[in-house]
Each structure stands twice: as structure tokens, then as C-alpha cells.
A and B are shown apart, each in its own frame.
Chain A
Amino acid sequence: MKHVLIIDDDHILVYLVQHAFKSVMPNFKYSVAETGKAGIEFLKEHSGDLPDLILLDINMPIMNGWDFLNEYKKLVNAKEIPIVILSSTVDPSDKQKADSYDEVKQFISKPFTVEKAKSLKHEYLNGVSSN
């Protein structure tokens, strides 16, 4: 079963994301971390059961998206996970900043739609599931 980690404090967005993914791949599992810090802790605790994709918000309390990325670099076994930033930002410098992280594969804007879920599935979640 494909596993997506959603790091975002916006409950409605989390709902929308899982809703969209479910409609394109019913057999799918997701986890939620409300802060960057919680995201790091999740990855540390699930080192044997890492997610297949991380959807990351920028604007969060306690370690925002950038803080998360900086800490993420230090996690040895998590580096292969594709990370997609999902943000409502209009600040062009955020996009530039995202480009400086190799780990970030895409930068997509809200709203999150079924089409975007399809595209992400096609891009990152088509391989044979580890589970």
C-alpha cells in the first residue's frame, strides 16, 4: 500500500488531500504531521516503514517547511523519499528557495485537486508498493 506523509497544519487541506488521493488510488495510506518538527519525529519513528511521498507545507508553527528540509538533510535513511511542496505562497523567493533543495521534486500551489493527486500518483506512486 502506497504511503503519503502530509505535513501541514491546515486540517481542511489534509482532508482535501486524502480525499483526492483516495479517489485516484483507493488502496492508499496517509499520515499527518501538523508541524515540521512533528514531520521529522514521524520519520525518525518510522525509519523501517518510510512513506513513499511527502507533501510539505511551508507556513507552519514550530519548524516551518524550510526548517523541516534542513533537518531532513540530516536523516540518513529518509533521503530517497520524493518531497513535493504544497503551498499558497505568492512570494517568488519561496520558489527559488525550494529549487535550492535537491530533495524537493515539485512545487505545487493550492488548491489541491484530484488532477494533482493523479499526476503525483503517476509520477511517484506507480512502483510496486513495499507493503
Chain B
Amino acid sequence: MGINCKITYPTGIVTTMAEEAINILIVEDNIGDFVLIRELLALSGIAINIKHADNLGSAIGVVRKDPNISLILLDLSLPDSSGIETFIAMNAEANNIPIIVLSGLLDSEVAVNTVKMGAQDYILKGQIDERVLERAIKYAFERKKNLEKIKKSEAQYKLLFEHNPIPMWSFDPKTYQILMVNEAAIQKYGYLREEFLAMSIQDLISDEEWQRRLVNPSIQNKSLTIGNIGEWQHICRDGSTIWDEVIIHSIEINGKIARLVAAHDVTERYHAREKLKQSEKMYRSMAQNFPNGTVAFLDKNLHFLYVDGKELKKLGARPEEYIGRSYSDMVSGMEEKHRVDEELQKAFNAENVLFDVSFGGFDYIVSAVPVIEENESIEKILVVSQNITQRKLDDAHRRLLESVITHAGDAVLITKAEPYIKELGGPEIVYVNNAFTKMTGYLPAEVLGKTPHLLQGEETQRNELDKVHYALTHWEPVEVEIINYKKSGEPFWVNFSIFPLADETGWYTHWISIQRDISARKGSEEKQKALTAELTAKNKDLQQFSFIASHNLRAPLANLVALLRILEKDDLNTEYNRGIIDKFETSTAQLDQTLQDLTDIITIQKNVNISRETVNIEEVYTNVTNSIQNLISDADALIKIDFKTAKTISYNKVYLESIMLNLFTNAIKYRHPERPLTINITTRNEPGYVILGFADNGLGIDMERYGDRIFGLYQRFHSSTDGKGMGLFIVNSQVRALGGKIEIESEVNKGTRFDVYLKQN
């Protein structure tokens, strides 16, 4: 079948086409038809690359391999496919490449159907003409041009995306998966490209932020909606966060709808805004909570621009009511208004002013300061008004109380509550009253800033101070009686109670100590104690004495009674009776002696005020030794004396003679039978005493056995002599009656040493 046709082309296209050929695939098994079509196309003078396939299989292969095919001319009757099936198979692979069906007369009806199914057109092989081919080629050319255009714009778009300094990425609106990301985003957030592409936008947003968006669907939707501008907090790879202003666009990637995100770092702006919000909130809350007063800004007309403070409630007003009104409106009286205006006006002259004013039944202290703008002008002033009504009342009350404390009879000392430093003896003294100065001699200036440690000294009871320390560290009141010291160094007994003082919030601020000099009471108490102790001891002595005395009286008396019973009364003058009567005499003599002893002892005991005189010790010694000259010479005693250190003492002479006499007779009585007696007598001084030392080399006393009853009445430790256990009892009684004591050292068969402490006044 012959084809004859002429094709005309728009001039503009020709040049373009010369540059790049159009690729046309001809699928035709009839080689005659193929040659004819090729010839007709060649005649057109257009640069056309023709590819030929003679069956459907190879045609599909060409299309898959070559993306530059712009047009397919398809014969429906092929060796491996025929009819409408051929078109369906080809069209499935053609991927929008236009197909023009070549059809024989026999299947023209089928060809018409292919157009309904998407074919560009059909050509009846018998009727291939210029018009049909021209249309076909034109279409192929347009398509080619479009492809070029798209290619170019895609490249430009890619360039714009990749090299944009603004971080950008795109994501799938359904899965949120990140699909693309640009270099700026990689730099900004620190993730590697591979990491980015494995993330979803959820990974890029903080959990908190994501939750917030999820919980609130409107935000969720909005934030992902095209054209929406929002602020997102993004997380960088290193964990830091960036606030971004993002804008979302819709794009198509490989035929799929996606979202493009462009992010602009607004972190600084965000923080600045947050900070501003915070500080504004802070100032506002400060003003609202301003206690006992108001905070206000006034303009140049002294009208309120802003006012707040707790005081407003007290005045029964809301802040808005004041806006635009004059500050001095609150004050009554023209003169007063004028004064207030004048004072406030000074602040506009860059002065800080402070003045008193009364309104609403309260007293205020007002402070006004200028607010200096950046250009150094003063457009408004800050006015702080503080209600001082209560304080004025408090001041008056305080002055009253202070006058009471100042003139109180008891000493008052006030310290800070803290710090309590044990080593420094307590907290710092902040107040003392007149009575304190009178009691201690310290002027306020001498103790303020110091601690109560100043008042303590050697005799101050540490255990009582520990009590105070415990109380002060446990915020408990305490009362103690201790010895303190006056400024003169004189110790005195003081009773002080300490209690903590709390402020209105319950916080302890001070310790208050009320002190009283109790020396007089303590003195008599101490005396009382000593007296009681002395009386108790004396009472015990007396009881012991009475037991012993009655024993010694009873024993001979009982004997007399018994002897009388066994006396044979019929004939008194018998040998037997004479023996009994002898025993009568012995017993009555014993009784008499005991009574005599008791009389002596009672004489010592009842002499409460024994007179003292200056006694020469050597003279006493001489008197005593003279009186027992015979005893001494019989014992052949060697006596050494040394009274050089204390020649005279203040003592009762009779007592001293008695003491010395008893010691001498004791030493002689209990001398050692196997050696001559030596006695050493000395005197020496000790504070408050003269000590008379009296040492012998006699029998000695077993101190372990008898130590506790050496000075007891009728205690005898030797059987060989006529001692009746009176001597040491009398010595001890006499020494103690004058406030002294006796110390004794003794060893059996070695000797005894007495140290007699003669109390000096």
C-alpha cells in the first residue's frame, strides 16, 4: 500500500528539533509497512530517530530500556499478540508515552476502541496521510518538549533544595517518614544524611512537644498543614534543642504527594520572648503581692498608668479603677493635694523623693523614683506607697514595753537567736537594761556585741552551762542557778531564766534572759547545808557516844546487880562474901571512872565557843613533859623537838596541853618492849593550819583492821596496858571542836605518826 504525504512544521520547532532528535518506536511485523512509514517520516525533514520492533516482546524491551521514546506507532497484529490485547500490553509498559495504533481495515473497530482506552489516535494503514502523521509527530514533539522542561525544572528545584542555606526536609504526610533532607539541615542538626532518612519527623521533635501536638488534634493538624507557620522545638543529634519557625509546603516527589518543611532558627527570639514573659510575670506578681502597700507608674500628669498591690484590697478597690486618675485624688484637702503633687513632680526632675501621706484612714510612706527611658527622658515615675499605720502603733507600744524593761528591777539581757557558738559561750548580746548594769557593773557598751561568756568564770558550773546549751540548741526555755562574775571579778550567784522570742512568722529571733542576784539566798543555803552536815555528823557521834557510854555504865552496874544476888546475906563476914565485896569495890570504881570520863568528854563537847589565844608551842611542850616527868624517865624516852617553822599558834591552850599530854601518854603506854622509846615532835605550816607532827617507834596499830575505829570511844588495840580507850577519842574531839583534823600513819612493830591539823583563823 503506497503512502504519499507532505508535512509542514512550525518554523520554531525545526531548529530545536535539529538539535535533538525525536525518538519514535515503530512496532510493525510487516516490513513493507514499516519501510513505508519510515520513508514518510524521513520526508518530513525532522530529525527523527526511529527504533523498530517486529513483535510485542521486543517492543516492551525497547521501552523499558530507553526512557527517551516519545511516541509509539503500534500495529495490533503481531506475531506474539493481536487485537486489543496488543494495545493493553503495550500501554501498560508505555508509562504515559503516547501510542498511535496502526490498524488494518479488518480491525478498524478494535482501533476505535483503543482510543477509548487511552490511545492517542489510530491510523488506518491504507489511509496513512500527511494530516494524520503531522498530528502524530506534533504530539510527540510537544511531549518531548514537556519532558525536557520537567527535567530542567527538577534539576533547578533540586539545586534550590540541596544548596538552600535554610534547613529543609520533606516527609511523607501519612507516615511522617523523612524523604529528603538538605545539607543545611544536616549541618544544623548534626544528623548524618543516612540517619535523617531513617528518621521520622517525630524523632526530630521532643517527646513533650510531640505529645502536646498529639493530645491536641487541632495543633496536630494545623502544624502539619500546608502553608502553616509554627514554632517547633527540634532536637539535634547532640541532644541540644533548637526552636525553629517552620513553614510547610506541599510537593510532589516521584509522583507522590509529600510535605516540604523549611525551618528558620528562632531560638534566641524564643528565649528572649520567654524571658520577657517571665520577667513581666515576675514584676506583675511582685506588684500584685506587694504587702502593705501599692506599686504604681504615673505619667507626666501624675495619673495612674498602672497600679497594683495587696493594699488595694484593703481600700476596697480594683486596679482598673485608678487608671487615668490622679494620685492626689486619693488625698483630701486642696493644700494636701498640692503638696503631694509637688512632691511627686520632683521625681520628674530626676529626684528620688520620700514623703508621708494619709488617706483612706491609713498612714503611708511614699517613695517616688523616676523611670529613665533609653533616650534619657523621663516619661513616667515609679511610686511605691507603704502602709505604716500598724508600724506607728507598734512603735508606740514598743516604746512603752522598752521603758518597762529598762526600769525593771530584774536584770534583762537579750541576745540574738543565732548563731550559738558554744566556745564563745552563746550568741551575741544585743540589749541589757539598767538593772543588769547595777547587778554586774558592766555598762551596755561593754557587753553589747559580746556573748554571755563574758560573765562566766572558773567557778561557773559547767554542767549547768551544758543545760543552757542544750536548751538553746533545742529552742526550749531554761532556768538555772549558777555562779557568774561581776566586772570587778567578784563571783555572785545568779538565777536566770531564758526563753526564746519568735517573730510573727514563728521564727525565733532572740533569747531573752531575766537574771536575779541570789547570792544572799545561796550564801545562807550553803551555810545551812554545811551546818546540817556538821549537825548530822555530830548527832551520829553523840548517838555512838551515848551507846558506848550506856554500855560502859551498864557493864559494871550489871556486875554489881549480879554480885548482890550471889552475896550470902545470912553471914556477911565469910571468906566467900569478902571476895564478892572486893569485886563490889572494883565495879564501883569502874563505874566512877566511867562517869568521870564522861564528864570530861561532855565538857569538851559542850564548849561550842572555845577561846583562842596566842600559844607558844614550846611552852606547852614544857608544861606537859614536866607534868609527866616520872613516866618519861621510867620509859627512858628520847624526845626530839623542832618547833622552828611554827613557834606560836592561835589556839586554846588547855586543849593543846590535853592533846599533847594524851599523845605522850599513848606513846609511852604503847612503846615497844624491846627497844627504847623515841619521840619526834615537829610543827609545820599549811594554808589554814599549823600541823603538829608526833611520831613514835612503838607497837604501832594494825591500820587495816582498826583504821576506822582508832578515834572511837573506849576502843583499845592493846591488851598489855591499862588503856581504857579514851585518849585518842578526847584528842580527836578537841581537835575537831576547833575545826581541825588528825591524820594517822602506823605500822605494827614499827611505830605511829600523828599529824594533828590545828586550824588557824
Q: A residues bordering B, Cβ < 8 Å? A: 9-13, 15-16, 19-20, 34-35, 38, 59-63, 67, 87-91, 109-114
Contacts and interface: CB of A to CB of B under 8 A. Distances in A.
A59 B583 contact: no
Contacts of A19: 566
B559 A10 contact: yes
A15 B566 CA distance: 11
A-B pairs, top 8 by smallest CB distance, nearest first, are A61-B716, A110-B558, A111-B558, A111-B562, A91-B547, A88-B554, A88-B555, A12-B559
Contacts of A59: 551, 555, 714
B705 A61 contact: no
A12 B559 CA distance: 7
A114 B583 CA distance: 18
A60 B717 CA distance: 9
A88 B558 contact: yes
Contacts of A11: 586
B640 interface: no
Contact of B551 (A60, A89, A113): A89
A68 B559 CA distance: 23
A43 B369 CA distance: 115
Given A12-B583, A16-B566, A111 B716 contact: no
B521 interface: no
Given A10-B559, A16-B566, A110-B559, A35 B719 contact: yes
B170 to A, nearest CB: 112
A62 B715 CA distance: 9
Contact of B718 (A13, A62, A109, A110): A62
B583 A90 contact: no
A18 to B, nearest CB: 11
Contacts of B565: 111, 113-114
Nearest to A16: B562
Given A15-B583, A62-B717, A90 B559 contact: no
Interface size class of B (residues with CB under 8 A): 20 to 34
B559 A13 contact: yes
Contacts of A67: 705
B563 interface: yes
20 contacts: A10-B559, A11-B586, A12-B556, A12-B559, A15-B583, A16-B566, A61-B718, A61-B719, A61-B725, A63-B705, A67-B705, A88-B551, A89-B551, A90-B547, A110-B554, A110-B558, A110-B559, A111-B565, A112-B562, A113-B565
Contacts of B718: 61-62
A60 to B, nearest CB: 8
A63 B701 CA distance: 12
Contact of A9 (B551, B554, B705, B719): B719
Given A61-B719, A62-B716, 18 more contacts: A10-B555, A10-B559, A12-B559, A12-B586, A15-B583, A20-B566, A59-B551, A59-B555, A61-B716, A67-B705, A87-B551, A88-B552, A88-B558, A90-B547, A91-B551, A110-B558, A113-B562, A114-B565
A84 to B, nearest CB: 16
A46 B719 CA distance: 22
A83 B12 CA distance: 163
A109 B717 CA distance: 24
B587 interface: yes
A16 B587 CA distance: 12
B16 interface: no
B132 to A, nearest CB: 154
B550 interface: yes
Nearest to A116: B562
Interface in B537-577: 544, 547, 550-552, 554-556, 558-559, 561-563, 565-566
Contact of A111 (B561, B586, B725): B561
A63 to B, nearest CB: 8
Contacts of B555: 10, 13, 59, 88, 110
Nearest to B560: A111
A90 B562 contact: no
A22 B722 CA distance: 30
Contact of A12 (B547, B552, B554, B587): B587
A57 to B, nearest CB: 9
B566 to A, nearest CB: 6
A38 B550 CA distance: 26
